[in-house]
A and B are shown apart, each in its own frame.
Chain A
Amino acid sequence: MAFLPVMLWTDWLVWLLVAAIACFAFYVRRHEHLVEPWRRVLRSPSGMTSLVILVIFIVIGLLDSVHFRPRLAGQPAGAKAAYAVDVLSLLDVVCEPLRLRREKTYSAPLATHLFAKETMDLSDGRQVRDYPRLRHGGAHLKNPETDFAPDVSRRAVWGFAAGLVAWIVLATLIAAILAHRHGTGINETWRAVWRGETEVPWRAILTTLLVLLAVAGMAIALAAKYHLLGTDKVGQDVFYQALKSVRTGLVIGTLTTLVMLPFAIALGIIAGYFGGIIDDVIQYVYTTLNSIPGVLLIAAAVLMMQVYIDTHPALFSTSAERADLRLLCLCVILGVTTWTGLCRLLRGETLKLRNLEYIQAAQALGVRNPGILARHILPNVTHIVLIAVVMEFSGLVLAEAVLSYVGVGVDPSTVSFGTMINSARLEMAREPMVWWSLAAAFVFMFLMVLPANLFADAVRDAFDPRVRSARPLALLPRTAA
Chain B
Amino acid sequence: MTAYIIRRFLYAIPILIGVNIVTFLLFFTVNTPDDMARMHLGLKRVTPEAIEKWKQERGYDKPVVFNTAAPGLARLTETIFFEKSLRMFVFDFGAADDGRDIAREIRTRMWPSLAVALPVFLVGLAVYITFALMVAFFRATYIDFWGVVLCVAMMSISAMFYIIGGQYLVSKLLHLVPISGFQGGVDAVKFLALPVAIGIVSGLGGSARLYRTFFLEEISKDYVRTARAKGLSEAAVLFRHVLKNAMIPILTGAVVAIPLLFMGSLITESFFGIPGLGSYTIDAIRSQDFGVVRSMVFIGSLLYIVGLLLTDISYTLVDPRVRFE
Contacts and interface: CB of A to CB of B under 8 A. Distances in A.
Interface string B285-298: 11010100110110
B96 interface: no
Nearest to B167: A428
B26 A301 contact: yes
Interface string B219-236: 110000000100001100
Contacts of A475: 139-140
B288 A303 contact: yes
Contact of B157 (A304, A442, A476): A442
Interface in B125-157: 138-141, 152-153, 155-157
Contacts of B263: 293
Given A284-B18, A446-B157, A304 B260 contact: no
B151 to A, nearest CB: 10
Contact of B15 (A291, A453, A474, A478): A291
A450 B153 contact: yes
Contact of B297 (A297, A457, A473): A297
Given A284-B18, A311-B31, A446-B157, A300 B26 contact: yes
A433 to B, nearest CB: 7
Contacts of A301: 26
A474 B219 CA distance: 7
Given A296-B293, A297-B297, A405-B160, A433 B168 contact: yes
Given A307-B35, A442-B157, A480 B282 contact: no
Q: How large is the interface on A (under 10, 10 to 19, 20 to 34, 35 or more residues)?
A: 35 or more
Contacts of B266: 295, 402, 406
B315 interface: no
Nearest to A433: B168
Contacts of B285: 299, 303, 406-408
B110 interface: no
Nearest to B289: A303
B43 A311 contact: yes
Nearest to A400: B158
Nearest to A477: B140
A433 B165 CA distance: 12
A304 B300 contact: no
Contacts of A285: 18
Interface residues of B, number: 61
Contacts of A304: 26-27, 30-31
A457 B15 contact: no
B22 interface: yes
Given A406-B266, A446-B156, A292 B290 contact: no
Contacts of B216: 470, 474
A480 B43 CA distance: 73
A288 B220 contact: no
A398 B159 contact: yes
B63 to A, nearest CB: 20
A398 B160 CA distance: 9
A104 interface: no
Task: Name which of A295, A394, A449, A453 has the most chain B CB atoms within 10 A of its CB.
Answer: A295
Nearest to A425: B164
Contacts of A306: 39
A361 B158 CA distance: 50
Contacts of A398: 158-159
Contact of B18 (A288, A310, A442, A454): A288
Contact of A300 (B156, B234, B294): B294
Interface in B24-49: 26-27, 30-31, 35-36, 38-39, 43
A218 to B, nearest CB: 24
Contacts of B139: 474-475, 478
Contacts of A428: 164, 167-168
Interface in A428-481: 428, 433, 438, 442, 445-446, 449-450, 452-454, 457, 470, 473-478, 480-481
A477 B219 CA distance: 12
Task: Name which of B18, B141, B172 has the most chain A CB atoms within 10 A of its CB.
Answer: B18
B110 to A, nearest CB: 15
B39 A311 contact: yes
A477 to B, nearest CB: 6
B217 interface: yes
A241 B53 CA distance: 44
A453 B152 contact: yes
A26 interface: no
A308 interface: yes
Interface in A389-431: 394, 398, 401-402, 405-408, 417, 421, 425, 428
A377 to B, nearest CB: 27
B237 interface: yes
Contacts of B267: 402, 405-406
B22 A292 contact: yes
B156 A470 contact: no
Interface in A18-33: none
Given A295-B266, A300-B27, A406-B282, A307 B36 contact: yes
Interface in B261-300: 263, 266-267, 270, 281-282, 285-286, 288, 290, 293-294, 296-297, 300
A238 to B, nearest CB: 16
Given A406-B285, A433-B168, A454-B152, A292 B301 contact: yes
Contacts of B140: 474-478
Contacts of A153: none
Interface string A244-255: 000000000000
A300 B291 CA distance: 11
A450 B156 contact: yes
A291 B233 contact: no
Contact of A303 (B38, B156, B282, B290): B290
11 contacts: A292-B297, A296-B281, A304-B27, A310-B39, A311-B43, A402-B267, A406-B282, A433-B172, A453-B152, A475-B140, A476-B140
The 4 A-B pairs of least Cβ separation, nearest first, read A288-B18, A473-B220, A293-B300, A450-B156
Given A306-B39, A454-B152, 20 more contacts: A284-B15, A289-B22, A291-B16, A291-B308, A292-B22, A292-B297, A292-B304, A293-B297, A293-B304, A300-B297, A305-B30, A307-B30, A307-B36, A401-B158, A406-B270, A407-B286, A446-B156, A457-B152, A470-B220, A474-B220
